[in-house]
Structure 1
Amino acid sequence: MNSDSDVNSGAAAQDRPARPQIDRRRLLLSAAGGAAALAVAGGARWWARRDAARGPRLWSTTAASGRVVLSGGPQDGLFVSGYDGNLRALDPRTGAVRWSRAVGAADPMTENYGRPSAVGDGVLSVAAPTGLQTLDAATGDVRWQVPVARWTGLTWGQGPVIRGGSVFAAHDGALNAYDAATGERRWSRPLGPEGYLALADDTVYAVGREYGARAFDARSGEQRWAQGSVLGAYNTPVLHRGALLLTYATEDRTGTWVCSLDAATGRVRWQRRHGATNCAVSAAGGTVCFLSGDTLSAMDTETGEPRWTATTTLGLGRGESSMTVADGSAYVGTNDERLFAFDLDTGKQQWQDAPDDLRSDTEYTRVSLAAAGTAVYRSTRTGVHALGTLS
């Protein structure tokens, strides 16, 4: 690996790459943090000890930064849509760069967010500046690309999704389905200026501010149902236990509805109003979590009844925090490089990770998180960091 990378010595022996010879002159000690790292050939640093108050770091690398997406789990692929307009594939276990591919010059979207991307069926699709570009996930070779006249309203939550041999993307006012292998368009349906997508089995779901929520047959494009009562939806929906979970703005734009729709029929199961705005949603087990500002809240997925709330930090006060849940934990990443882990059942803080030097600048960015099992990956402008344990 050509970039700086840290690897935690607490990882299982069989998961480690062979350790190169240690350069003893580059032994780094951090008394303040209670940690010691051994700098070795190739820029890798093995964490020998960590302060108990900090998170269980696995590795970190400065070779990539941007939006992260996982393929399956830690044993598969980790992909980063960079702030610099490049796509990179990393080894989820070590942080080593497998390949890198330029998909367009940096622009306001990539500089603050990284371009939306999705991985599945052996391919990686990205909403590139010139169109929908699909690459071989193993090699980074371009398989196909289709021109897009307008990524209308393209934001953090909008981007392609992949399943069942198809790539689905909302652009040019329509929901489009493409053959994942060839790029041939299978069908297209009018949608509207926005399209936050989710997939389950043979159904693709789209939500947007102007039309609410809709469900389409993934093979034919036939509309299965429409729910217009959730106008103002503005985040990627989550499919969980037969429900489509989403957030949409109240009519006066002073709050947010967290809503559960029956994924098969579109019927409203429950909804709860909250005073916060711009809530991100994620779910696992019997709990749905949503984050707004410095407050993380949890509700029962079946009833919407509140379970617990926890407080994090607003970070630098600019940019946006991110949240995800997996394997009994809820994670919140802030743009000052901190990461919080909470017990999904109780809301009790499990650990907090912070850099040796907290950032004090006010550069706008959004933290990206991806989690699978007990491993969580955090990407900021300083690089990609892996924490937790690898199974």
Structure 2
Amino acid sequence: MDRRTMLQTAVAGLVGLGTVSGTASAGGNVTATASNGPLVYVGTSLSYNAYDATTGDHVWTFPTEGSSWSSPTVVDGILYAGDNGDEDDDATLYAVDATTGDEIWSFTDPGDWVWSSPTVVDGTVYVGEGGGSATDGWDYSVFAIDAETGDLVWEFDEVEDRVQSSPHVVDGTVYVGSHDSHLYALDAETGDEEWSVQPATGRISASPTVVDDTVYVGVDHSGLYAFDADTGDEQWSVTDKIQGVQSSPTVVDGIVYFGEGNTSTHTGALHAADATTGDHEWTFSEPDAPVTSSPTVSDGTVFVGEGHHEYKDISNDGDVYAVDAATGEHQWTFTNPDDSPVWSSPTVYDGTLYVGISPGGLFAIDADTGDKLWSTDDGVGRSSPTVVADPENGNSVDSRIHLGTLGHHHEWMGVMPDSGGDDDGTDDPPVDDDVYDAVATLSADDSDQVTGADLTILRGRLIDGDNEIDGVTVTGGDYTLLRGHLFN
């Protein structure tokens, strides 16, 4: 693992929790209720909103010039998100205080929409833009923007259709898909193309997932593909009897989970396949509409929402399903009271499943039973809800990222980390007052592994110079790094 990957935004103060995110917009915030967190953030038609994750009480609103379909990302208490353009179709990426909703900076690009969710790595925000069609004069690009100032770092404008896919950054490479049917690998520092591949003629709408040097990506009207992350060479594909994949794949314990269907098909399905070979494990075929929501995996359960289709004579139920991750057996169904599609991907935090239903609202559902806990009526669009345990200092680590299954702004995206439990089944030690968040420095006077070194917790990682030190024990305080956090 190189220094760039090591310094990707990691969990800060969220061991054993589950999600994070924020919101942004133009115009100034409207504060309703004070809250110290955790907060859940989600985009609505023309704003981003923060709610108390426990009660659903509204905390603040940040209005946007255009539709807020981009899912927010929070790093060090700053929320990054975009909109789909004002009356002149000028899209804006915002940096917003995650606690107050106050705007810090904005970056506007004429003639584009921000469809994708920002990815923040090593002080740089990566995001895709583009809307409409090239024949109508629309532009399509991937941008790298300074996370502190909002200044443009580089622009990759070789794509020929919109970039709705959210970038995934691993080992200094940006992986992103486009509606021009190509998957691109770009140098994260310069924006230069490393390689590109066209798996099929369908659009790539969802984000790629990178696990163990393999890039997994879904293609509309085609299937699921696995590519070598270094070369772009195809490893395997699942296309037989698949109607297309519009959602992002999720990889957990060697199994890749992906939704099937597109807006022109009658039905959808949730599939599980071997992540190394692509061999079929199981199929859950109960959804009667395309599964355009990306699967979320938590505690052995896969959660996924049902999208919509274009056939007017068929109901758009928009139900949410819980399925056993090992067997594909149905556990429960949350029946959408509005028969509206679920475009957003579920987020799990502290036993609660959060999901946006368009145009209904944000729903909080008991992850074990499927019972509704609370809901809003703000008309959530395609933005996925995300939760921040500590809005003032916390980072955006939604359950799909923190639990290792999928995300759009973290190096753990797409892979389930070790459970951290002991062989006897006991859980990780609890977080106590001696957990050190980024950035704290400890001095080790004596250690079998580290002697006389100054160790720094940098963005959730224990750093000695340019080297990452995982699992090190520092005597003199007997602190142990576990999942990016220090315990004593």
- TM-score normalised to the size of structure 2? 0.58
1:216 equivalent among 200, 210, 227 = 227
1:259 to 248, 254, 271: 271
Question: Kindly tell me: are residues 187 and 55 of structure 1, through their superposed partners in 2, closer, same or farther at Cα, counting changes over 3 Å?
Answer: same
- Residues 116 and 127 of structure 2 are in contact (CA less than 8 Å); yes or no, is this contact kept in structure 1? yes
* Residues 1:4 and 1:146: Cα distance change in structure 2 (over 3 Å): closer
Query: What's the offset of the Cα at 1:268?
Result: 1.5
User: Matches of 2:187 and 2:120 in 1, distance apart?
Assistant: 12
Task: Confirm or deny: 8 A CA contact 2:356 2:382 kept in the other structure.
Answer: yes
Would the alpha carbon gap of residues 323 and 225 (structure 1) be closer, same or farther in structure 2, given more than 3 Å must change? closer
Alpha-carbon separation, structure 1, partners of 2:267 and 2:71: 29
Q: Are residues 1:371 and 2:394 paired?
A: no
Q: Aligned runs of 1:1-391 on 2, under 5 Å?
A: 3-6=28-31, 8-11=33-36, 55-63=56-64, 66-71=68-73, 75-84=76-85, 85-105=91-111, 110=113, 114-121=114-121, 122-128=123-129, 129-151=139-161, 154=162, 158-171=165-178, 172-192=180-200, 193-195=202-204, 196=206, 197-229=208-240, 230-249=242-261, 253-279=265-291, 280-285=293-298, 286-292=300-306, 293-314=317-338, 321-327=343-349, 328-336=351-359, 338-354=361-377, 366-372=381-387
Counterparts of 1:295 and 1:63, CA distance in 2:
29
**TM-score, normalised relative to structure 1:** 0.71
One-letter amino acid of the counterpart of residue 115, structure 2: R
Residue identity opposite 1:369 in structure 2: S
Q: In the alignment, which residue of structure 1 is the partner of 2:400?
A: none
Q: Report Cα offsets for 1:13-41 as digits up to 9, x if no partner.
A: xx9xxxxxxxxxxxxxxxxxxxxxxxxxx
CA 1:8–1:208 in 2, change beyond 3 Å: closer, same or farther?
same
Contact 1:341/1:351 (8 A) holds in 2: yes
Q: In structure 2, do the counterparts of structure 1 residues 92 and 227 end up closer, same or farther at CA, with 3 Å as the change threshold?
A: same
SS of 2:69's equivalent in the other structure is strand
Asked whether the equivalents of residues 313 and 334 of structure 1 are also in contact (C-alpha less than 8 Å), the reply is: no
The equivalent residue for 1:38 is: none
Displacement of 1:96: 1.8
> RMSD of the alignment, in Å?
3.5
- Give the Cα–Cα distance (whole angstroms) in 1 for the partners of residues 359 and 267 of structure 2: 26
Indicate the SS of the match to 1:322. Answer: coil
Instruction: Please give the alpha-carbon distance, in whole angstroms, between the structure 2 residues aligned to 1:373 and 1:10.
Output: 12
Percent of pairs identical after alignment? 24
TM-superposed CA distance for 1:336, in Å, is 4.7
* d(CA) in 2 for partners of 1:368, 1:337: 13
* 2:124/2:146 contact within 8 Å kept: yes
Gaps of 5+ in 2: 1-25, 40-49, 86-90, 130-138, 307-316, 397-436, 438-488
Deviation at 1:216, TM superposition (A): 1.6
Task: Please give the secondary structure, in 2, of the residue aligned with 1:274.
Answer: coil
TM-aligned CA distance change 1:54 to 1:372, over 3 Å: closer
SS at 2:346 equivalent:
strand
Aligned-residue offset at 1:55: 1.2
Distance 1:160 1:277, change over 3 A: same
**1:62-90 Cα distance to aligned partner (Å, 9 max, x none):** 2565134444x564442222122111112
The CA distance in 1 between the partners of 2:247 and 2:286, in whole Å, is 15
Does the 8 A contact of 1:69 with 1:80 survive in 2? yes
Number of residue equivalences: 323
Check the 8 A contact 2:221/2:243 in 1, yes or no: yes
Q: Which residue of 2 aligns with 1:29?
A: none
- Cα offset, 1:231, TM superposition: 4.5
Question: Which runs of 5 or more residues in structure 1 are unaligned?
Answer: 16-45, 360-364, 378-390
Could you tell me how far 1:92 is from its partner in structure 2? 2.0
Question: How many angstroms apart in 1 are the aligned matches of 2:343 and 2:261?
Answer: 19
Say whether the 8 Å CA contact 1:237–1:281 is kept in structure 2.
yes
- Residue 253 of structure 1 and its aligned partner are, at CA, apart by 3.4
Distance 2:186 2:325 in 1: 33
1:177 Cα deviation (Å)?
0.6
